[in-house]
Amino acid sequence: MMEVKSKGQQVSRREEILDKAARLFKQKGYVATTMREIAEQVGMEAASMYNHIRGKEELLEEICARVAETYVNQMNEIESSDLSPIHKLQALIRSHISITTKNIHWISVANNEWRHLPDSSLKSFKKARDTYEDRLAEIIRSGIDCQEVADVHVSITLYTILSSLRWIETWYKPNKSYNARDLEENIVNILMNGLKKSG
């Protein structure tokens, strides 16, 4: 569930097109990327690619929809768990980091290129994002109510948490002086120590 991309021995041509598109959209931006360039990366003729996909817009729609779905599934699972609010918060931050490091191009495209979605899918993407934020705010609020979380301003805290994770998609490169696990541990510790009620 944590993987946005389909994996396994039989990755379909369509999946391969989607993944190469995500890489190019991240690197060059959605607008500047051509179907011809995507085809080159997949190693097929641009014309044959249209057997698998209607066009560039469909690629962006599917990338954004899958990313949104991954976050929502994660939220569903954690929200319905028996964890207390602060442990739900911790699990969400942890999985948010993990989803990002495992799907760095897809997440980057959903975060930065969603404005180019056509109206219909733009609407549902924004709705998914707003609902995710509302549910996260509700977990913070419950944590404050049961005195696990410090008496913080809910919206400021919500945006500070989500924003603090945004650099990962841009700057994180595995195999440097830290791995995905170090990343997760450090950020979770800083945020959770910062949020928990002291005393």
| CA distance between the termini of the chain | 37
Judged by CB under 8 A, the stretch of 37-45, 86-94, 118-126, 145-153 that binds its own copies is: 145-153
72 is an interface residue for its own copies by CB under 8 A: no
Q: Which of 177, 180, 181, 199 binds its own copies (CB under 8 A)?
A: 177
- Nearer to its own copies among residue 21 and residue 183 (C-beta): 183
137 is an interface residue for its own copies by CB under 8 A: no
Q: Look at residues 40, 69, 38, 70 and name the one whose alpha carbon lies nearest to residue 53.
A: 38
Whole-number Å distance between alpha carbons of 93 and 187: 9
Judged by CB under 8 A, the stretch of 17-25, 56-64, 75-83, 159-167 that binds its own copies is: 159-167
Q: Look at residues 187, 8, 190, 17 and name the one whose alpha carbon lies nearest to residue 98.
A: 187
Q: Look at residues 196, 136, 132 and name the one whose alpha carbon lies nearest to residue 161.
A: 136
Whole-number Å distance between alpha carbons of 155 and 48: 48
Judged by CB under 8 A, the stretch of 14-22, 58-66, 102-110, 154-162 that binds its own copies is: 154-162
156 is an interface residue for its own copies by CB under 8 A: yes
Instruction: Give residues in contact with its own copies (CB under 8 A).
Output: 150, 152-153, 155-157, 159-167, 171, 177-178, 182-183, 186-187, 189-195, 198
